[in-house]
Chain A
Amino acid sequence: MAEMVKLFVNGREVEVESGKNLIDAFKVIGVEIPHFCYHPALGADGNCRMCLVGIEDGRPPLVPACKTLVSPGLKVQLDTEKIKKIQRDMMEFELINHPIDCPVCDQAGECTLQDYYMSYDLQDSRMTVPVVAKGKRMDLGCGVVHDQERCVLCARCVRFTRLITKTGELGIVNRSDEARVEVFPGRPLNNRYAVNVVDLCPVGAMTSRDFRFTQRAWFLTKDKGICHGCAKGCNIYIDHNREKYKDDVIYRFRPRLNDQVNGYFMCDEGRLTYHAENEGRLQVCRLEGKDCLQDYAIQSAKALLGPKALMLVSPNCSMEQMIAIKALSEACGAKLSGYSDGYIKTGDGDDWLIQDDKSANRAGLALLGIDCTKETFTGLLNGSDVLVSFNNDLFVHETGNEFLQRLEKIKIVAIATHDGTLIQKASIAIPVASYSESSGSVVNKDGLLQHFVRAVQKNVLPLDMIALCGTLGGPVATESDAVNEMKKVIPSLTDMIPEGGVKLTASEAAHVPA
């Protein structure tokens, strides 16, 4: 527990954490200090002047809250007429040259200017002179579109490229009310985290080419999720909307704060993985290339299970799914492999968020003692008649002739979220729910066990993989069964997985059941 400090806000004594600035400290106790430029990840800049607060008997009596640390006995004033007027005045200055084009602005509904206008301003415009015209719809690169007229020059985006990615593509050129965010000529945004500036931008100055004009912010349901783009397990918001008579569609992923994993940010590639949740999905069961009824496909698949079957688990399956699959394989005497080398793109990762391993739960395979080596897999494959793939797209990593010839000789059952080469080769294909449509837990590369819940509600509910394992004859048929099993593997897990995840101990992470 951090040390606590007693001080006063609006005459009321409060206790807050020491070492924090007024904005962060008061946020915890539900007192909002309006601000544009301050961001916990970027530090205090003090340029927007929106967070000016009064200090009773203070020298100076007026300070920016972002640059003022809490100290014992400090008497902070937020509700005085003087401070309220300053907030109105700052809003007026921010708005005089703002286009106020909310009806066509992508940020509307999640815009700090809009919110603060309602909370702190509500004045009519006194602007009777021409506004400053600046650049519109500027392509800054990396799918970031900039509108200079909407910009409040808070420099969060500039500071992000300087302090976080250290690429420094953005800067503020010119002085006075001609100041604007720009890139150097011929040197656009060029880093793998660029779209974070869209999230950081408090107004509609930075928009995402991928998302803009697709949905109004207020129509989106914002559910918590875990990015499955790589082994980092960045915490995300899955923003989706189920329009009347239509199917639930994901419109964007946004980073969700988790200091243990991704902080406030995520990579651009991971951000775009939502497309795969919407597109290219396997929709109906197939038998020998033809659509068929689900029950028929499942019964046909069940008939193929036995000692001559090899089950191949995807490193993207959740812990619960892996447990169910493992139990199924043991029940029917089938062999099990987690071979998935193709999910690893060696050299692609960096020293921050992006990992070489493009799967979300490889650590889970190790935790359950599922062998992942190519040698074992090839050996097992040679002794098998049937390959049952649990969403492991072998063709991502295997294109060799010898391998293809081997696959020609056996029957393939593909239990998959997506259509693809494996589905084309499969005798039986059964669509299942993807991670946004189901709940589960994954272990990231640092041994952090994180839980996610179902976000997307499809019109036609895709089959749940765990339930499918049960139908196929497995003893673990529900999520709660799987969780009970998981608690045996992870002894310290006695309760629900808390938000933010559970760090597995070294011995747990290395645990390989006999």
Chain B
Amino acid sequence: MEVKILSAKFDIKDAHTLEVAKQHGAYSRLEKLFSMEPVAVIEEVKSSGLRGRGGAGFPAGLKWSFLPKGLNKPVYLTVNSDESEPATFKDRFILVRDPHLLIEGIIICCYAIGCHDSYIYIRGEYTTQVKALQAAIDEAYAAGYLGENVGGYGFKLDVTVHRGAGAYICGEETALLESIEGKKGQPRSKPPFPAVEGLYGCPTIINNVQTIASLPYILENGADAYKQYGTEKSPGTHLFGISGHVQKPGMYELPLGLPILDVIEKVAGGVLNGKKLKAIIPGGSSTPVLTPEEAKTVTLDYESMAAHKTMFGSGGIVVLDETVDIVKLVENLAQFYHHESCGQCTPCREGLGWILKIVKKILKGEGSMEDINLLVELCDNIEMKTVCVLSAACTMPVRSYLNKFRHEFEAYVKKGASAQADVKQG
């Protein structure tokens, strides 16, 4: 099932160095790139159907075409390498094992959109990754693949790595821009969208690492070759991080569209120790959970996920076996999103903390059935009322657990009630 497009050089020793990377084709597409018109590059990417790999799955070529034309302002490309979504571990492989693939992708994108200053926003915790990435950038500058005259083709391009300070919210594209500008990482309200008014008030394209790293293949082999993989509406391959209760957790490159249960069984070796499957988080912690029954018809692509009222997300699949306590899982989840809420807007700032406290109350056996109903209502009250979608990243999965595993919450409530009754009787 596995394919090697993005991960082609992952297993080659020292492929992160320019020398080895070049032996395996790095920067070989520049000649073709600079022989094309930028518009033709955008058209190629558009027709490849490449969708943003950050989680939302917005078509990359379409995003680029939103840039206003004829503005007398610089255009920026910002590569989102914040990879903070719990259960997501894909970009980090590119950064460490094949950073030149990313740099080549940046050159392709920048040429297409007319950008001469690109930023890579990388999360602060990625110390190994930032070292590898910076070393590769330094090598690329030294070899003339970045700088005043990229590859000798007369194109100027500077790439700057900006390290975050560990806030999940800085993966949200406008908070990321604020952070690069040296401000507190808080999302901006939209519109204006970054393509119109982004970094330093200039038109800005923000793409995920994996999206950009997919470009060299598309440029070299053409859109049709890329579309061989995946489904019609979700073409190409994706780096999936499979974790949780499976025999062989890890990062696998797979074409989109495979049945999720097949992947868990055949790629990841099935549920750990032969236990029973309880649930699957399909694409990072913020995606609504799937029951085994639902998972039977789910395939790993944007459309199938949407049809099952969940999201493709970031490709971080978490397999949960029968031993998992869903209420404790929700506590963990709420803890994370509450802690990471930037605190800017009211519903998220106050609401997520309230949700967390109610879950803790239920866990302590002090909850009531009204508390469970209140949790569901709070999810509705918070969601889509906020500046950004961080609150939805919490409320969407929490609502799914409440709906699909309500009996577990009720069990805590009943246990608590009977314990209290015992105390009274005793």
A-side residues, CB < 8 A to B, are 46-50, 52, 62, 64, 67, 86, 89-90, 92-94, 96-97, 126-130, 132, 152-153, 172, 174-179
Q: Chain A residues near B346 (CB, 8 Å)?
A: 47-50, 90, 93-94, 152-153
B44: interface (CB < 8 Å):
no
Q: Chain A residues near B374 (CB, 8 Å)?
A: 126
Are B385 and A62 closer than 8 Å at their CB atoms? yes
5 tightest A-B contacts by CB? A179-B343, A129-B357, A177-B353, A93-B350, A89-B381
Are A175 and B339 closer than 8 Å at their CB atoms? yes
Are A62 and B338 closer than 8 Å at their CB atoms? no
B386: interface (CB < 8 Å):
yes
Write the nearest CB–CB distance from B337 to chain A, whole angstroms.
9
Are A129 and B385 closer than 8 Å at their CB atoms? no
A90 and B385 CA atoms in complex are apart in Å by 9
Residues 342-360 of B, flagged 1 when their CB comes within 8 A of A and 0 if not, give 1111110111111001101
The interface centre, meaning the residue of A47, A132, A178 with most chain B CB atoms within 10 A of its CB, is A47
Q: Chain A residues near B354 (CB, 8 Å)?
A: 93, 96, 127, 129
Are B167 and A175 closer than 8 Å at their CB atoms? yes
Besides the contacts A90-B385, A127-B354, A178-B343, what 4 more A-B pairs have beta carbons closer than 8 Å? A46-B345, A92-B381, A93-B346, A175-B339
B340: interface (CB < 8 Å):
yes
A174 and B338 CA atoms in complex are apart in Å by 12
A126 and B350 CA atoms in complex are apart in Å by 14
Residues 342 to 397 of chain B near chain A (Cβ within 8 Å): 342-347, 349-354, 357-358, 360-361, 371, 374, 381, 384-387
Write the nearest CB–CB distance from B221 to chain A, whole angstroms.
37
Are B350 and A175 closer than 8 Å at their CB atoms? no
Are B357 and A130 closer than 8 Å at their CB atoms? yes
B149: interface (CB < 8 Å):
no
A52 and B189 CA atoms in complex are apart in Å by 13
Are B385 and A89 closer than 8 Å at their CB atoms? yes
A172 and B341 CA atoms in complex are apart in Å by 14
Q: Chain B residues near A96 (CB, 8 Å)?
A: 350, 354
Are B381 and A132 closer than 8 Å at their CB atoms? no
A94 and B351 CA atoms in complex are apart in Å by 9
Are A177 and B345 closer than 8 Å at their CB atoms? no
A48 and B358 CA atoms in complex are apart in Å by 23
Are A46 and B387 closer than 8 Å at their CB atoms? yes
Write the nearest CB–CB distance from A135 to chain B, whole angstroms.
15
Are A128 and B361 closer than 8 Å at their CB atoms? yes
Q: Chain B residues near A52 (CB, 8 Å)?
A: 385
A126 and B341 CA atoms in complex are apart in Å by 22
Are A175 and B343 closer than 8 Å at their CB atoms? yes
Q: Chain B residues near A62 (CB, 8 Å)?
A: 384-385
Are B347 and A176 closer than 8 Å at their CB atoms? no
B interface secondary structure, majority = helix
Given the known interface contacts A47-B346, A128-B361, the answer about A175 and B189 at a Cβ–Cβ threshold of 8 Å is: no
- Contacts A/B (CB < 8 Å), 23 sampled: A49-B347, A49-B387, A50-B346, A62-B384, A62-B385, A90-B346, A92-B381, A93-B347, A93-B350, A93-B351, A97-B353, A126-B374, A128-B361, A129-B354, A129-B358, A129-B361, A152-B346, A153-B349, A175-B339, A176-B339, A176-B349, A176-B352, A178-B343
Are A90 and B347 closer than 8 Å at their CB atoms? yes
Q: Chain A residues near B345 (CB, 8 Å)?
A: 46-49
A296 and B360 CA atoms in complex are apart in Å by 82
A464 and B65 CA atoms in complex are apart in Å by 74
Residue on B with the closest CB to A50? B346
Residues 182 to 200 of chain B near chain A (Cβ within 8 Å): 184, 189
Q: Chain A residues near B360 (CB, 8 Å)?
A: 129
Write the nearest CB–CB distance from B333 to chain A, whole angstroms.
15
Are A46 and B189 closer than 8 Å at their CB atoms? yes
A156 and B349 CA atoms in complex are apart in Å by 17
Residue on A with the closest CB to B387? A46
Residue on A with the closest CB to B343? A179
Are B349 and A179 closer than 8 Å at their CB atoms? yes
Q: Chain A residues near B347 (CB, 8 Å)?
A: 49, 89-90, 93
Q: Chain A residues near B371 (CB, 8 Å)?
A: 128
Are B189 and A67 closer than 8 Å at their CB atoms? yes
A178 and B167 CA atoms in complex are apart in Å by 15
Write the nearest CB–CB distance from B293 to chain A, whole angstroms.
33
- Of B343, B350, B384, the contact of A174 (CB 8 Å cutoff): B343
Are B353 and A176 closer than 8 Å at their CB atoms? yes
Given the known interface contacts A175-B343, A179-B343, the answer about A47 and B352 at a Cβ–Cβ threshold of 8 Å is: no
Given the known interface contacts A46-B189, A64-B189, A153-B349, the answer about A177 and B343 at a Cβ–Cβ threshold of 8 Å is: yes
Write the nearest CB–CB distance from B383 to chain A, whole angstroms.
11
Residue on B with the closest CB to A64? B189
Residue on A with the closest CB to B354? A96
A50 and B374 CA atoms in complex are apart in Å by 21
A152 and B347 CA atoms in complex are apart in Å by 11
Residue on B with the closest CB to A48? B346
Are A175 and B387 closer than 8 Å at their CB atoms? no
Are B385 and A86 closer than 8 Å at their CB atoms? yes
A89 and B338 CA atoms in complex are apart in Å by 18
Are A49 and B386 closer than 8 Å at their CB atoms? yes
A97 and B352 CA atoms in complex are apart in Å by 12
A310 and B189 CA atoms in complex are apart in Å by 67
Residue on A with the closest CB to B384? A62
Are A176 and B385 closer than 8 Å at their CB atoms? no
Q: Chain A residues near B342 (CB, 8 Å)?
A: 175-176
Q: Chain A residues near B353 (CB, 8 Å)?
A: 97, 132, 176-177
Are B344 and A47 closer than 8 Å at their CB atoms? yes
Are A177 and B189 closer than 8 Å at their CB atoms? no
Q: Chain A residues near B167 (CB, 8 Å)?
A: 175
Q: Chain B residues near A50 (CB, 8 Å)?
A: 346
Q: Chain B residues near A175 (CB, 8 Å)?
A: 167, 169, 339-343
Q: Chain A residues near B381 (CB, 8 Å)?
A: 86, 89, 92-93
Residue on B with the closest CB to A175? B343
Q: Chain B residues near A176 (CB, 8 Å)?
A: 338-343, 349, 352-353
Q: Chain A residues near B349 (CB, 8 Å)?
A: 93, 153, 176-177, 179
A467 and B349 CA atoms in complex are apart in Å by 62
Q: Chain A residues near B386 (CB, 8 Å)?
A: 49
Q: Chain B residues near A177 (CB, 8 Å)?
A: 338, 341, 343, 349-350, 352-353
Write the nearest CB–CB distance from A415 to chain B, whole angstroms.
57
Residue on B with the closest CB to A152? B346
The interface centre, meaning the residue of A52, A152, A175, A179 with most chain B CB atoms within 10 A of its CB, is A175
Write the nearest CB–CB distance from B336 to chain A, whole angstroms.
11
The interface centre, meaning the residue of B339, B352, B354, B361 with most chain A CB atoms within 10 A of its CB, is B354
Residue on B with the closest CB to A155? B344
Write the nearest CB–CB distance from A5 to chain B, whole angstroms.
19
Q: Chain B residues near A127 (CB, 8 Å)?
A: 354
Residues 303-344 of B, flagged 1 when their CB comes within 8 A of A and 0 if not, give 000000000000000000000000000000000001111111
Write the nearest CB–CB distance from B187 to chain A, whole angstroms.
10
A179 and B167 CA atoms in complex are apart in Å by 14
Residue on B with the closest CB to A90? B346
A48 and B353 CA atoms in complex are apart in Å by 17
A179 and B374 CA atoms in complex are apart in Å by 24
A62 and B381 CA atoms in complex are apart in Å by 13
Q: Chain A residues near B361 (CB, 8 Å)?
A: 128-129
Q: Chain B residues near A172 (CB, 8 Å)?
A: 184, 343
The interface centre, meaning the residue of A64, A126, A130, A177 with most chain B CB atoms within 10 A of its CB, is A177
Q: Chain A residues near B387 (CB, 8 Å)?
A: 46-47, 49
